Chain A
Amino acid sequence: QQIISPDQYIKHPLQNKWAMWFFKNDKNKEWTANLKLITAFDTVEDFWGLYNHIQKASKLPSGCDYSLFKDGIQPMWEDEHNKNGGRWLVNLNKNQRQTELDNFWLETLLCLIGEAFEDLTDDICGATINIRGKGDKLGLWTKDARRGDATVKIGQKLKERLKIPVKIAIGFQAHSDTATKAGSTARDRYRV
């Protein structure tokens, strides 16, 4: 009779439950109708089961997004958890879709589910990858744009984990600034 060790059948629980969302741009539908919840998971094994099963971000058509948010937070500014928050934004140029995009996104997912932000986990809402013809964007969303020290520490950790060169700055914008700034981009509240 074969003896199975507990490691072989007990999944590794995550600190938080996370929900993966998919957005597909269909101009004939309302924005919210284009946003679909794929699934929620709370173990390491279920994360990989999902990740290995879905299309890589670099293979998505232009106009699509993936988002990973804590369960109960919708990936939109209007959500109660996001409305006072903002995002660290990493802009990718066209060449980086082939070379960096999938690595950046996976690394960000591992930061979220592995709680890389440690005691600042309560500041974290989720992350989004936007696939766009004019340049893809990675955003790490936090819940309160006024929390300067925490926000800067989160940005530094993200930059370190993505191995973004020190000389390349990334910026953080409050959603309230982005929402009211039609056309051009909002000013950065913080940079690292």
Chain B
Amino acid sequence: GKKHYDREFLLQFQFDSAAI
């Protein structure tokens, strides 16, 4: 499927990435 992400969806991960 097509993976189109809107800005709000993308922004919610900004400060999660350090944990991954």
Residue numbers of A with Cβ under 8 A of B are 9, 11-15, 44-49, 51-52, 107, 110, 113-116, 118, 161
**How many residues does chain B have at the interface if contact means C-beta atoms less than 8 Å apart?**
16
Q: Is the interface of B mostly helix, strand, loop or mixed?
A: loop
Q: Are A45 and B13 in contact (CB under 8 A)?
A: yes
What separation, in Å, do the CA atoms of A13 and B18 have in the docked complex? 17
How far does the Cβ of A14 sit from chain B's closest Cβ, in whole Å? Answer: 6
Q: Are A114 and B9 in contact (CB under 8 A)?
A: yes
A-B contact count (CB 8 A): 54
Residues of A within 8 A of B2 (CB): 15, 115
Q: Is the interface of A mostly helix, strand, loop or mixed?
A: helix
**Which of B3, B5, B6, B13 lies in contact with A48, CB distance below 8 A?**
B13
Residues of A within 8 A of B16 (CB): 45, 48
Q: Are B10 and A110 in contact (CB under 8 A)?
A: yes
Question: What residue in chain A is nearest B17 (Cβ atoms)?
Answer: A48
**Which of B4, B9, B20 lies in contact with A118, CB distance below 8 A?**
B4
Q: Are B5 and A45 in contact (CB under 8 A)?
A: no
How far does the Cβ of B17 sit from chain A's closest Cβ, in whole Å? Answer: 4
Q: Are A44 and B4 in contact (CB under 8 A)?
A: no
Q: For the complex of A and B, list the 4 residue pairs with the smallest distance between their C-beta atoms, beginning with the closest.
A: A48-B17, A114-B5, A15-B3, A115-B4
Question: What residue in chain B is nearest A52 (Cβ atoms)?
Answer: B17
What separation, in Å, do the CA atoms of A48 and B7 have in the docked complex? 13
What separation, in Å, do the CA atoms of A11 and B13 have in the docked complex? 10
